[in-house]
Amino acid sequence: MSDSRTTSSPTFADVNRDVLRTLNPPGNLYFAWMCVVALGLAGFFLAWAGQVWWGMGMAGKRVPQMWAMYITTFVFWIGIGHAGTLISAILYLFRARWRTSIYRAAEAMTIFAVMTAGLFPLIHAGRMWFAYYLLPYPNQRTLWPNFRSPLVWDVFAISTYLSISTVFFIVGLVPDIAALRDASTGWRRRIFSMLALGWEGSDTQWRHYRRAYGLLASLATPLVLSVHSVVSWDFAMALVPGWHSTLFAPFFVDGAIFSGFAMVLVLVLPMRHFFGLHAYIQDKHLDAMGKLILVTGLVLTYFYICEIFTSLYSGEHIEKASLFWKVTQTYAWALWTMYFCNCVAPLILFWRKARTSPFVLYVVSILVLIGMWFERFNIIVPSLGHDFYPYTWGIYYPSPTDTAIVLGSFAFFLLLFLGFIKLMPSLSIVEVKETIPPPMREGPHAH
Amino acid sequence: MSGKAAVGALGVVLLAVLIFLAISSWSRQSSAADAKPSVQPINFPHSVHVGTYKMDCQYCHSEARRSEYAGLPSVERCMGCHKIAAADKPEIKKLAAYHADKKPIPWVRVNKLPEFTYFPHKAHIRANLKCQTCHGAVETMTTFGATTGPRVTNDLLYLVGLKPGGPPLSMGWCIECHREQNAAGKQAPLDCVTCHH
Amino acid sequence: MPTETVLGVFAHVDTTVRALEELRAHGYHDLTVYTPLPVHEIEEVLERGRPVSRVRLFTLIGGLTGIASAFLLTIWSSLVWGLVTGGKYMQLGSGGISGSSLPPFFIIAFEMMVLFGGLATVIGMVVLGGLPRFRPSSTFDPRFTNDRFGVAVHCAPERGGSVRDLLRAAGAEAVQSR
Amino acid sequence: MNRRDFFKIVTASGAAAASGGCQQATETILPLVVPNDQIVPGVASWYATVCRECPAGCGVIARNREGRVVKLEGNPDHPVNEGALCLRGQAALQGLYHPDRLSGPSVREAGGPAKPILWDAAEKLVAERIGALRAAGKGRAIAVVSQLETGNLGALLDRWIQALGARPRVTLEPFGYESIRAANKITFNRDAIPHYAFEDAEVVLSFGADFVETWLSNVNYTRTFTRMHSFRDGRAGTFIHVEPRQSLTAANADEWVRNVPGTEAMLALAILRVMVDEGAADKRFAEAVAQVDLKRAAEETGVGLPTIKRLAKVFAHAKPGLAIGGGVAVTGSNATQTQVAINLLNAAAGNVGKTVRFGPDSAYGKVTPHAEVAALARAMAGGEIEVLVLGGGVDPVFTLPSGLKFADALRKVALVVSFANLPDQTTELAHVSLPDTHWLESWGDYAPREGVLGLLQPTMAPIRDARPMGDTLLRIGRVALGAEEGKGPLPWPTFEQYLKAAWEPLVKGQLEAALRRGGLFGEVAPVAVTAKVTAGEPAPAKLEGDAGGLTLLAYPSLRFYDGRSAVSSWLQEAPDSITQAVWDAWVEVPEETAKKLGVAQGDMLAVKSPHGSLELPAYISPTLHPGTVAIPLGHRYSPYQRPRYVAADLRSLNPMALLPATADATSGGLAFMAVKVTLTKLGTRRPLAVLQATHDQDDRELARHVDLRAAREQALRGKGPAEAHVTMYDNQKYPGYRWGMSIDVDACVGCQACVVACQAENNVPVVGKASAAYGRQLHWMRLERWAEGSAAHPMNMFLPMLCQHCEVAPCEPVCPVYAAYRTDEGLNGQVYNRCVGTRYCGNNCPYHVRRFNWFQYEFPAPLEVQLNPDVTVRQLGVMEKCTMCIQRIVAGKDRARDEKRSVRDGDIVPACQQTCPTKAITFGNLKDDASEAAKLARSPRAYHVLDEIGTRPSVTYLKKVVREHA
């Protein structure tokens, strides 16, 4: 991938054209991917239907691993869902301009990841047809959810996160949809007109818009940090050795950012390649992303060390036994895979050439995603497998049902994302324009 | 294009599975059967027995004071009066036929609580509760019927801020009464597992 | 009073800014400026002397409502049954509320604050920005969402001519009356 | 009496009421046709009867709801079990409601399938054959085999036999203890099995007698053993057990002595020799041990000389002691010699008359010796028998050794009439099947020992078209004799009338009272006996087969007895306490041998003897004597369980397939230890479903122990400082009661009765082998075995683990919907209908006692009739756990309120406590300082499992007391 196309700066009209070009009718490759997605989704829903019909026993769970791959994948997707809002909110507040070309895709990824994650509590519940009991709705029995339960905190945190991310996303989209509206005809135009809410880009609209956007960003920032903290408390609030740790909140947030950025790269690099967006997603963007992955990876390594250290230093027999078992016994392969993927693999990003090489970045990102999935797996399955009570120690084996659902969740995510890139501008027209020099009759000057 | 066909087929499969999920989920929602005025094998008018002849409920439902169930009168007990009383009426002839065949009368159940609910009549009779409190104005019913148990519409009304009160034999309705009794100094349990075990 | 609206279409930021400066200098304050993106230079001219957007008030009220309703919901609903879990409880007795399980409620309060605050912010933006708009305003041109800037001046009909001249002089590509 | 008609109707409607999670669209309710004062719908009635699952004859009371029996409990008035019941008794309901129970009489052409037939026709068919034989003067060609019937059914059978001139009746009880009788005849000149007064002994020295499992009367002896042994009762006696295998009884011993199998006689005489040598026994016993060479004995028994000396010292000093013998290793060719040696030990120590009491003799003394069964088999094979009548409860094809070739002999009989009510290996070869009623549906009587007359009465109407065996035989006999009812040698119309007539002189018109009590219970005065000293020839048992092979120990199973209880899926799923395996059978292989063969647990082994072979998965035992292998008796899958719970049709699980038809020459008893076998690795695997991941506590102190001396000191000083709980929060207030439980680990013998009782009471489903192996069993209560010490001297602790009802319960706050919460009365409530199934509570419970409904579990008809109507049947996807029998608590409070009082200690008894033979479990109000549970919770031995987590459980455990010298 050459840098030749990035040399001359595009104009505002180029931006509109380039971005709108991504919405052209898709080619065969796209449909080939859709077929893969269709297969995955069919497996996903059939497995789910089987599980509802025959019971949770279709999934490989047991005593003591009453939670296993569903919650693993749930936390994984929630983690993925962190990069988007982080990029759009925190980096917005820090005025990191390199965010502009990737933030739309990242935000979409966030929403879809959270939606995917949101399926898992349903899939996971033994009686999902009563899942609405978790919502605080007034009813004749005067029964309410237990606000002391971390799962109810999850309900609040995740639904708030999904709502605010969606709002943030839509607010960002409005001016772009207006541009879309003005560039399209027929029924598309009618739909876009409705979605654009009649946006015109007048000065009044812009001033409230800018203020609202800033406020949303400042609300979303603590939210991002809180969501994965709350998810981490699902574990930290429990007694299970290997879960009961105050370290978990920052540990999870960092891991979430780490995996989120990896997922952004996994999605953005092919987009850049296939849509020819090299002018907007430049090497400096990749470099910045690579640095972030490196830093969060190093922080994560620090947390791993802390985890082991506290467990050893505590002198707590059961904690130590749990750790020792994880490191050396049945699931040791998963633990060492995780250490390799999350601690060793990102180290290559110390090297600048690696940070700007799409291939290396892609490989590292995939490894990071694998590693982060295994991190959640290692927290859940081996910890439960060797906890307080030796009588019930046991090994969890995934069943075809769990496997189909976990793989199917990736198909579900891809369906949403692939659909999105063909329906909505996956680069922010407005914000990309902000990064290129505005048109000046007197010639460009420093911005 | 095969891809488009696949996407279409996927849509159909997904729709089918979603409908399946919805139906199977809904069918597992164990709600109490809401029985409308029922077609009974013998048209038994409570209004005549309770209203006109002022019979005590427990004369027929004699288990109520000592058992979880109120009980139904044995065919023998029905015949105790109806050997003579109104013996020529067509409905009573049906009763006599059951008696002659030594067959129980297959009454259709009207009041039904879900299987996970333990409701002892005994404790409520001990607390001097009137049968009509729960079963309605039986003395006016020519055909006994009741619409009982929780209803989705009821929860929806609560959701929009109305308080229609619990429908009869629903949990909210039980609880309301138990709370009132406790406020009046009686001991009506409010512990979940007293009724759900 | 009848007014005339004059629309100038610009291709460049600097010409737009110039036109705005000129218009302000000539006392035209009833302006609508269309830009495909928020432009710092243009905002600088327009925001001069204007109060800060009231959207933040919406955010504040929304956030406070969220906190209050979260505490109301959690505390009240805990008291309805007063159930004990894990040795923690909150019960309403003759001596007031006994037991304490307050700390987890702060989490709910935080989430509700963000949710209500965020939603209120958007409502604020929509209301204050005059959205949703079902029919395009008369001065809007589809190019304004692409690469053109528009300055619409609302003035008395008799001053229309001078405004047109002013806009043209500033460098407008086209000047129209709407 | 019209009660039975009545039952039918109510039973029919009761089945509808017991439906599971699914709702029926329309439901009809059926009133009774005729009112009945014995039954109030919704109120339980109790009927006393006698358990016939084994010859121990415990008293049972059956809880009848709406005409169907839903639970069995021990009869508290019955002197044998005093309210306790073992797991087999608890599971008898599964036989009653077995889906495969024969639906009516049937006939079968040779080799063909069974065809239904009408009762009259079937009876006629048999009667004509018998009549013809009798007419031809060939009455001797008629043989009757029944299980042990000491009462009037036996008497009636004998009258029938006499009337028809048939061969004397043979009773078939695989465990007949003939050697004890023969030895008693030799030593005490009394052909009887005495009553052993465990409770009066200070030291019990058992030579293989597995009294916790099957020996004579397991509930009675477990119960009285605890009274002698448990620290709680202040006795703290000593129990020494000699056996090559660590059986459940051995696991409860203070000292388990692992000997070479078959050398018990030698060891007993060696002990006697030491006693004589050291002057602890009368000189007249010197004659008996003249030939005993201590050194050789120590060598051949594999028990060191110091141990022998110590055992002798301990036993001799006991005032009194008790020596008993039994179990598989004491059935060999020298069984009678062993028992004689044990008799001499008892006599020498002066125990006879004190702890060994003749007079109240055991019913087992009336079993016809196995030699007679063998003679019958020979007669059958020789074509002498033309009609064979097999009573209910006998399954000779399965329970007799393959060396006897009983099946072949059976095929030579022209007409085999079976009264069994469940299909088994024998009924498959029967020509006419006339299903007997289940004992819970029958009249009868049974005397487990002299002086104790138990009465059986129908506790419900037969759920299948079955007729009492007595009635059928009476009718057949009359037809065969050509007599009418009321005349001839068999005048009685029914067995019920025969029984009532026979009881009239005993009860003098007070039969109702006897029925209510469960029988007539009296004491028989001990009879004085004098011991004759005979010289013992200390020879080890002779074994057939490959001299280089391993001795096969085919040991009786606690769960299945001789196999008759194996039809129960509850028992299949109640783990064997030692191995914690469920469902499958296994071959227990010593570690050394396993290493040599290179087998791991679950690897298939072919076990070969000269008489047959078996393929079984291996269970590697670190404790088994290296020269042996052990296979439990009685394992089989009954047909209905095949598709549902296990993958394959596994019928050859029984080690009887390997045994020769060897009998002890003196007593005629069947030798269960008679052969050496060879093992071959097959290379395939059939993993065992073992519920306990490890028997090593990993220093977590789940089950704790204390030395006897320390325990005594602490008991004198009282309780040390109470555990202080630091908390920032207000403590919970208990306005009324606060329920709690105490479990004495010292008393618990690990018999699993509580596990099955809980399953019966609380509608706990059966999950099958695959699910159980994968940690998905649903038992609310489990019995853990924790082992400490070396393999040669292990110390086992049995820990019943159930919901701890923690005050600071980790399961509760994590539940998002309050389905788990703490009640005002100190229970952890679980509201099934609120549960969404997040399983968070299950993860967070450090004890892992919460159970999840992974599937919609079924109760195949008619087993659903057994469901307790007071307990919800849980839907798929919900969590469940021990409720401390909340339904019993509610009922207890209701009773108290009726009587306008508060609940008294002992009013409410959960199912586990109720059935416990050792009274290890005590439930009560912890707020009441005087309650038994509260007192035990303050004991110096009290502790909480995993108390360092701070869950503050309501279940208090009491440490096991370890005898120092052991």
Same domain, D812 and D840: yes
Strand-pair partners of D675 = D544
CB contact under 8 A, A207 and C86: no
Calculate mean pLDDT across residues C90-98: 80
Digit-coded pLDDT (tens) for A71-88: 999 999 999 998 888 888
Question: Among D479, D506, D521, which residue terminates a domain?
Answer: D521
Peptide bond into D360 cis (omega under 30): no
Range of the domain at A405: 8-435
CB contact under 8 A, D821 and C85: yes
In this predicted structure, which of B8-17, C79-88, D534-543, D872-881 has the lowest mean pLDDT?
Answer: B8-17
Q: How far is A128 from chain D (nearest CA, A)?
A: 7
| Higher-confidence position of C143 and D238 | D238
Interface probe, candidates D731, D738, D808, D834, chain C, greatest C C-beta count within 10 A: D808
Q: Is residue A440 part of a domain?
A: no
Under the banding of pLDDT at 50, 70 and 90, the label for residue D3 is very low
Strand-pair partners of D321 = D203
Q: Is residue A444 part of a domain?
A: no
Given CB atoms, is A207 within the 8 Å cutoff of chain C? yes
Q: Which residues of chain A does D817 touch, with a Cβ-Cβ cutoff of 8 Å?
A: 133-134, 143, 145-146, 149
Q: What is the DSSP string of D786-833?
A: EEEE-SSSEEEEEEEE-----TT-TTTTT-TTSSEEE-TTS-EEE-GG
Residue D66 region, left (φ>0) first, then alpha (ψ -120 to 50), else beta?
left
**pLDDT score recorded for residue A447:** 42
Residue count of chain D? 966
**Total domain count, chain C:** 2
Residue D893: in which H helix or E strand, if any? helix D886-898
Out of A12, A164, A209, name the one closest to residue C114 (CB): A164
Q: Which residues of chain D does A64 touch, with a Cβ-Cβ cutoff of 8 Å?
A: 775, 843, 848
Q: Is residue A295 part of a domain?
A: yes
Range of the domain at C69: 55-128
Given CB atoms, is D818 within the 8 Å cutoff of chain C? yes
Same domain, C34 and C96: no
Check pLDDT > 70 for residue D882.
yes
Question: Among D361, D386, D405, which residue terminates a domain?
Answer: D361
CATH number at residue D312: 3.40.228.10
Cβ contact A87:A420 at 8 Å: no
Digit-coded pLDDT (tens) for D344-390: 999 999 999 999 999 999 999 999 999 999 999 999 999 999 999 99
**pLDDT score recorded for residue D4:** 35
Q: How far is B115 from chain A (nearest CA, A)?
A: 17
**Total domain count, chain D:** 5
Digit-coded pLDDT (tens) for D100-110: 899 999 999 87
Q: Give all chains having 3 or more CB-to-CB distances under 8 Å with chain B.
A: A, D
Q: How far is D846 from chain C (nearest CA, A)?
A: 13
Same domain, C109 and C64: yes
Q: Which residues of chain C does D821 touch, with a Cβ-Cβ cutoff of 8 Å?
A: 83-85
Q: Is residue A1 part of a domain?
A: no
Check pLDDT > 90 for residue D803.
yes
Under the banding of pLDDT at 50, 70 and 90, the label for residue D5 is very low
Q: Is residue A443 part of a domain?
A: no
Range of the domain at D154: 106-171+366-449+452-521
Nearest to A66 by CA among D751, B158, D877, C121: D877
Out of A56, A317, A397, name the one closest to residue D837 (CB): A56
Cα gap C39→C54, rounded to integer Å: 20
Q: Which residues of chain D does C100 touch, with a Cβ-Cβ cutoff of 8 Å?
A: 729-730
Q: Which residues of chain A does D876 touch, with a Cβ-Cβ cutoff of 8 Å?
A: 55-56, 126-127
Out of D33, D821, D872, name the one closest to residue B197 (CB): D872
Out of B68, B99, B116, name the one closest to residue D42 (CB): B68
Q: Is residue D481 part of a domain?
A: yes
Given CB atoms, is D952 within the 8 Å cutoff of chain C? yes
**pLDDT score recorded for residue D23:** 35
Check pLDDT > 70 for residue D287.
yes
Q: Which residues of chain B does A48 touch, with a Cβ-Cβ cutoff of 8 Å?
A: 17, 21
Calculate mean pLDDT across residues A341-367: 93
Q: Is residue D160 part of a domain?
A: yes
Q: Is residue D51 part of a domain?
A: no
Same domain, D336 and D420: no
Q: Is residue D287 part of a domain?
A: yes
Check pLDDT > 50 for residue A406.
yes
**pLDDT score recorded for residue A147:** 93
The whole-model pTM stands at: 0.91
Please name the residues in contact with D292: beta carbons below 8 A apart, sequence gap of 6 or more. D266, D269, D270, D272, D273, D536, D538
Give me the average pLDDT of each 10-residue run along chain B (197 residues). 56 71 59 55 88 90 88 87 86 90 85 86 91 87 74 77 78 90 89 91
**Total domain count, chain A:** 1
Check pLDDT > 60 for residue D639.
no
Cα gap D185→D182, rounded to integer Å: 5
Digit-coded pLDDT (tens) for D147-161: 999 999 999 999 999
Count CB atoms within 10 A of the CB of residue C132.
13
Cα gap D444→D438, rounded to integer Å: 11
Q: How far is C84 from chain D (nearest CA, A)?
A: 5
Same domain, D828 and D682: no
Digit-coded pLDDT (tens) for B124-172: 999 999 988 888 888 888 877 777 677 777 777 887 777 777 778 888 8
Six-digit token string for B34: 């809401």
Peptide bond into A64 cis (omega under 30): yes
Peptide bond into D862 cis (omega under 30): yes
* Beta-strand pair D550-555/D142-146: unpaired
Question: Among D521, D540, D561, which residue terminates a domain?
Answer: D521
Interface probe, candidates C77, C81, C84, C108, chain D, greatest D C-beta count within 10 A: C84
CATH number at residue A364: 1.20.1630.10
Under the banding of pLDDT at 50, 70 and 90, the label for residue A253 is very high
Nearest to A371 by CA among A349, A339, A323, A330: A339
Q: How far is D729 from chain C (nearest CA, A)?
A: 7
Percentage of chain A lying above the pLDDT 70 cut = 97
Q: State the DSSP code for A56.
A: G
Same domain, C46 and C68: no
- Provide the total of helices (H) and of strands (E) in chain B, helices listed first: 10, 1
Helix axes D469-481, D152-164, angle to 10 degrees: 20
Same domain, C120 and C59: yes
Output the CA torsion D326→D328→D333→D339 (10° steps): -10
CB contact under 8 A, D946 and A388: yes
Check pLDDT > 70 for residue D738.
yes
Nearest to D362 by CA among D80, D76, D157: D80
Tell how far CA B91 is from the center of its chain: 24
Given CB atoms, is A135 within the 8 Å cutoff of chain B? no
Same domain, D130 and D223: no
Cα gap A252→A300, rounded to integer Å: 9
Q: Is residue D757 part of a domain?
A: yes
Residue in chain C nearest D728 by alpha carbon:
C100
Given CB atoms, is B36 within the 8 Å cutoff of chain D? no
Given CB atoms, is C135 within the 8 Å cutoff of chain A? yes
Under the banding of pLDDT at 50, 70 and 90, the label for residue A8 is low
C48 exposure class (CB count in 10 Å sphere: 0-12, 13-18, 19+): exposed
Same domain, C43 and C21: yes
Same domain, C70 and C45: no
**pLDDT score recorded for residue D22:** 32
Q: What is the DSSP string of D709-735?
A: HHHHHHHHH---SPPP---SSPPPP-S
Q: Which one-letter amino acid corresponds to residue C119?
A: L
CB contact under 8 A, A61 and D810: no
Please name the residues in contact with D733: beta carbons below 8 A apart, sequence gap of 6 or more. none
Same domain, C91 and C153: no
Cα gap A351→D809, rounded to integer Å: 52
Please name the residues in contact with D557: beta carbons below 8 A apart, sequence gap of 6 or more. D213, D214, D563, D576, D632, D633, D634, D635
Q: Which residues of A142-168 are buried (b: 16+ CB within 10 A; e: fewer)?
A: bbbbbbbbbbbbbbbbbebbbbbbbbb
Give residues 52 to 111 of A whose Cβ lies within 8 Å of D.
54-57, 61-64, 66-67
Given CB atoms, is A386 within the 8 Å cutoff of chain D? no
Given CB atoms, is A132 within the 8 Å cutoff of chain D? no
SS3 readout for chain C? CCCEEEEEEECCHHHHHHHHHHHHHCCCCCEEEECCCCCHHHHHHHHCCCCCCCHHHHHHHHHHHHHHHHHHHHHHHHHHHCCEECCECCEEECCEEECCCCHHHHHHHHHHHHHHHHHHHHHHHHHHCCCCCCCCCCCCCHHHHCCCEEEEEEECHHHHHHHHHHHHHHCCCEEEEC
Interface probe, candidates A53, A54, A66, A144, chain D, greatest D C-beta count within 10 A: A66
Cα gap D705→D959, rounded to integer Å: 5
Same domain, C59 and C117: yes
**pLDDT score recorded for residue A149:** 93
Cα gap D125→A322, rounded to integer Å: 70
Please name the residues in contact with A115: beta carbons below 8 A apart, sequence gap of 6 or more. A162, A416
Given CB atoms, is B105 within the 8 Å cutoff of chain D? yes
Q: Is residue D58 part of a domain?
A: no
Digit-coded pLDDT (tens) for D436-459: 999 999 999 999 999 999 999 999
Digit-coded pLDDT (tens) for A13-70: 888 888 888 877 888 888 888 889 999 999 999 999 999 989 999 999 999 999 999 9
Q: How far is A259 from chain C (nearest CA, A)?
A: 24
* Dihedral sign (CA D366, D370, D374, D375): negative
Under the banding of pLDDT at 50, 70 and 90, the label for residue C100 is confident
Cα gap B66→B121, rounded to integer Å: 8
Q: Is residue A445 part of a domain?
A: no
Summary mean pLDDT of chain D? 89
Same domain, D319 and D298: yes
Q: Which residues of chain A does C88 touch, with a Cβ-Cβ cutoff of 8 Å?
A: 148
ipTM (interface predicted TM)? 0.90
Interface probe, candidates B40, B113, B192, chain D, greatest D C-beta count within 10 A: B192
Same domain, D852 and D823: yes
Interface probe, candidates D727, D733, D827, chain C, greatest C C-beta count within 10 A: D733
